[in-house]
C-alpha cells in the first residue's frame, strides 16, 4: 500500500501553489516577453498598470471616501415594542403594549466636523496615491537606467576581453621572437582573469536589476526581460513626489486639527428625541408621549485626555511636516548639484575623454604591434 507522508503532502501543496502563482503571473508577462527591446516609456506604463501597491492604496482611498459619507450621518433611529402577555386574550380590556421611537441627535457641529475630518483623510490618501505613482515612475526610470548600464557594461567587458586576448596573442608571438618579455604575456593573462571575474559580478548585478524590475511589474523574480533600448537623456524635471508628500501631510494635519475641535465638542451633550404609545395607561390622554433627553457629559478627565491626545498628535505631525520640508529642500538642492555635475561629466566624456581614449588606444595598439612605445 502506498503511504502518503506529511512531507509529500507539503511538497504537493507547494507545487500547486507555485503553479497557481505562475499562471497568474504569466498573463502579465505575455505582454512583455514578445518585446524585442524594452524602453523607458513602456516600462513606466507597465509599472503603473501592474504594480500591486497602486490598487491597494486605491482601495484604501475608496474605503476612506465611503467612510466620509457615513461619518457625518445620523445614527440609525431606534424602535422598541413591549407587550404585556396577560392582556392578550382579555375581553373588554385594551391589550397592554408599549411602542417607542427615538433618534439620537449629536450636538451642533459634531456631524460637520466628523465629515470634514473624514474627507481630509480621504484627500490625504488621494495625495498618497499620486505620491506613490510618482515614486514608482522614478523607480522605473532608475531601474531602466540600471538595466541599460548593466547591459552596456557587459558589452564593454566582452570588448575588453577580446582586446586583451589579442594583446596576449601578440605578446606570445613577440616573446617567441625575442622581442618582448614573458611578463607581457602574464600581464595579459592576469587582466583577462580579472575581466572574467568582473563579468561574473556584472551578470549577478544584471539578475538583481531584473529582480527589482520584476517586483515593480508584479512578475516572478526569474522572469526574463527584453534588453533595453538606447538610453535617451531628457531635461531634468523636478521630482514632485516629495512635494505631493507634503500635500498629503498637510491634509492629514487638517484632519487632526478638526479632530481637536471634535474632541472639544465632546464636552457638549448629545440630544435624543422620542415619540411613543403606551396602552398600559388607563387614562387614554396619557398613552401618546413625546420626549427629549440628553447624555450627561460627566468624566471631564477622559474628555481632557481625548483633547490632549488630539493636540499631541497634531503637534507631532506638525513637527514632522517641518522636518520633511527641510529635508526636501536639502534633497532638491543636492539633486540639482548632482545633475549639474553629471551633465558636465557627460559632456566632458563625450566631447573630449572618449575620443582621446579611442585615439590613444589605436595608437598604442599600432605601436605595440610594430614594437615601438610602451605597453
d(CA 208, CA 212): 6
The pTM score is: 0.67
pLDDT at 360: 66
Count of H-run helices and E-run strands, the chain: 8, 4
pLDDT of residue 214: 93
Whole-angstrom Cα Rg for the chain: 37
Report how far residue 47's alpha carbon sits from residue 175's, in angstroms, rounded to the nearest whole number.
56
Q: Is pLDDT at 180 greater than 90 in this prediction?
A: no
Query: Which residue from 302, 321, 209, 213 is spatially nearest to 257, judged by alpha carbons?
Result: 321
DSSP 8-state secondary structure symbol assigned to residue 19? H
Partners of 38 in the β-ladder: 228
Share of the chain above pLDDT 90, in %: 13
Cα 347 from chain centre: 35
Dihedral sign, CA of 30, 33, 36, 37? positive
Range with lowest mean pLDDT among 184-193, 280-289, 308-317, 350-359: 350-359
CB atoms within 10 A of CB 164: 20
C-alpha cell at 125: 490618501
Q: Which of 66, 69, 72 is nearest to 112 (CA)?
A: 72
pLDDT tier, 364 (very low <50, low <70, confident <90, very high otherwise): low
Name residues whose C-beta falls within 8 Å of residue 314's C-beta, 6 or more positions apart in sequence: 253, 256, 257, 259, 260
Q: Are 160 and 195 in contact (CB under 8 A)?
A: yes
CB 362 within 8 A of CB 355: no
Query: For residue 336, which phi and psi values (nearest 5 degrees)?
Result: -60, -45
What pLDDT is recorded for position 146? 93
* Range list of H helices, 177-240: 182-216
Four-CA torsion 31, 36, 37, 38, nearest 10 degrees: 0
Amino acid at each position: 500500500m502506498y503511504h502518503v507522508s506529511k512531507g509529500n503532502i507539503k511538497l504537493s501543496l507547494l507545487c500547486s501553489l507555485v503553479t497557481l502563482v505562475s499562471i497568474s503571473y504569466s498573463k502579465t508577462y505575455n505582454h512583455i516577453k514578445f518585446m524585442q527591446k524594452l524602453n523607458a516609456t513602456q516600462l513606466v506604463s507597465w509599472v503603473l498598470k501592474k504594480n500591486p501597491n497602486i490598487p491597494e492604496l486605491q482601495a484604501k482611498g475608496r474605503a476612506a471616501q465611503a467612510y466620509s459619507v457615513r461619518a457625518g450621518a445620523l445614527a440609525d433611529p431606534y424602535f422598541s415594542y413591549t407587550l404585556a402577555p396577560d392582556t392578550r386574550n382579555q375581553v373588554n380590556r385594551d391589550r397592554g403594549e408599549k411602542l417607542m421611537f427615538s433618534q439620537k441627535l449629536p450636538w451642533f457641529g459634531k456631524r460637520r466636523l466628523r465629515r470634514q475630518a473624514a474627507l481630509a483623510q480621504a484627500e490625504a490618501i488621494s495625495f498618497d496615491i499620486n505620491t506613490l505613482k510618482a515614486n514608482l515612475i522614478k523607480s522605473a526610470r532608475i531601474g531602466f537606467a540600471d538595466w541599460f548600464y548593466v547591459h552596456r557594461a557587459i558589452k564593454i567587458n566582452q570588448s575588453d576581453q577580446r582586446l586583451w586576448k589579442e594583446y596576449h596573442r601578440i605578446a606570445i608571438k613577440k616573446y617567441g621572437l625575442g622581442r618582448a618579455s614573458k611578463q607581457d604575456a602574464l600581464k595579459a593573462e592576469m587582466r583577462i582573469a580579472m575581466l572574467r571575474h568582473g563579468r561574473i559580478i556584472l551578470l549577478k548585478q544584471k539578475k538583481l536589476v531584473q529582480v527589482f524590475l520584476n517586483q515593480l511589474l508584479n512578475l516572478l523574480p526569474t522572469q526574463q526581460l527584453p534588453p533595453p533600448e538606447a538610453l535617451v537623456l531628457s531635461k531634468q524635471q523636478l521630482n514632485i513626489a516629495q512635494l505631493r508628500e507634503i500635500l498629503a501631510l498637510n491634509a492629514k494635519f487638517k484632519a487632526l486639527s478638526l479632530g481637536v475641535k471634535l474632541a472639544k465638542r465632546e464636552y457638549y451633550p448629545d440630544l435624543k428625541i422620542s415619540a411613543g404609545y403606551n396602552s398600559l395607561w388607563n387614562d387614554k390622554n396619557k398613552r401618546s408621549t413625546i420626549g427629549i433627553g440628553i447624555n450627561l457629559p460627566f468624566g471631564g478627565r477622559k474628555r481632557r485626555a481625548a483633547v490632549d491626545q488630539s493636540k499631541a498628535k497634531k503637534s507631532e505631525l506638525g513637527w514632522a511636516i517641518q522636518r520633511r520640508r527641510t529635508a526636501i529642500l536639502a534633497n532638491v538642492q543636492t539633486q540639482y548639484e548632482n545633475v549639474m555635475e553629471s551633465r558636465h561629466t557627460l559632456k566632458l566624456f563625450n566631447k573630449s575623454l572618449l575620443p582621446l581614449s579611442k585615439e590613444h588606444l589605436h595608437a598604442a595598439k599600432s605601436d605595440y604591434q610594430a614594437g615601438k612605445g610602451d605597453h
